[in-house]
């Protein structure tokens, strides 16, 4: 246990679902423009998860009008209002950088099946 963990634990969020690389997520981000605040939704696949503890962050990639857009969000940030997992991805690696070079069907990620 680090000495900073005592301070960091009060800022950790417990309302977030478990996420992993390849998951399709909807990130509800609080955006402040002028004096108004609104919620903007960023939907895409998680291509990387980095860090640990309070410094953990994840990168979400989506295609917007044929152009790939990536955004990195801190996991425990108060600017993220809600995080929804739409699909669980079945991938074999932690960093999905190979998706940057692909488009169409080859950029699809298999969905994890619940066979018990």
Q: Rounded mean pLDDT of the chain?
A: 91
| Mean pLDDT of the 56-77 span | 93
pTM of the model: 0.87
- The two tokens of residue 115 are 């066979």
Where does the pLDDT of residue 42 fall: very low under 50, low under 70, confident under 90, or very high at 90 and above? very high
Please answer whether residues 25 and 85 qualify as being in contact, where contact means their C-beta atoms are separated by less than 8 angstroms: yes
Where does the pLDDT of residue 47 fall: very low under 50, low under 70, confident under 90, or very high at 90 and above? very high
Domain boundaries, the chain: 5-89
Where does the pLDDT of residue 27 fall: very low under 50, low under 70, confident under 90, or very high at 90 and above? very high
Residue 116 confidence (pLDDT) above 60? no
Nearest to 84, CA basis, from 24, 38, 29, 30:
24
As assigned by CATH, the class of the 5-89 domain is mainly beta
């Amino acid at each position: 246990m680090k000495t900073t963990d005592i301070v960091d634990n009060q800022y950790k969020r417990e309302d977030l679902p478990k996420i992993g690389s390849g998951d399709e997520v909807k990130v509800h981000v609080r955006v402040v423009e002028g004096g108004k605040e609104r919620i903007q939704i960023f939907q895409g696949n998680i291509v990387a998860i980095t860090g640990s503890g309070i410094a953990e962050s994840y990168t979400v990639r989506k295609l917007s009008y044929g152009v790939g857009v990536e955004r990195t969000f801190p996991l425990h940030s108060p600017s993220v209002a809600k995080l929804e997992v739409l699909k669980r991805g079945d991938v074999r690696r932690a960093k999905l950088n190979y998706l940057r070079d692909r488009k169409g069907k080859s950029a699809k990620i298999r969905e994890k099946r619940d066979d018990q």
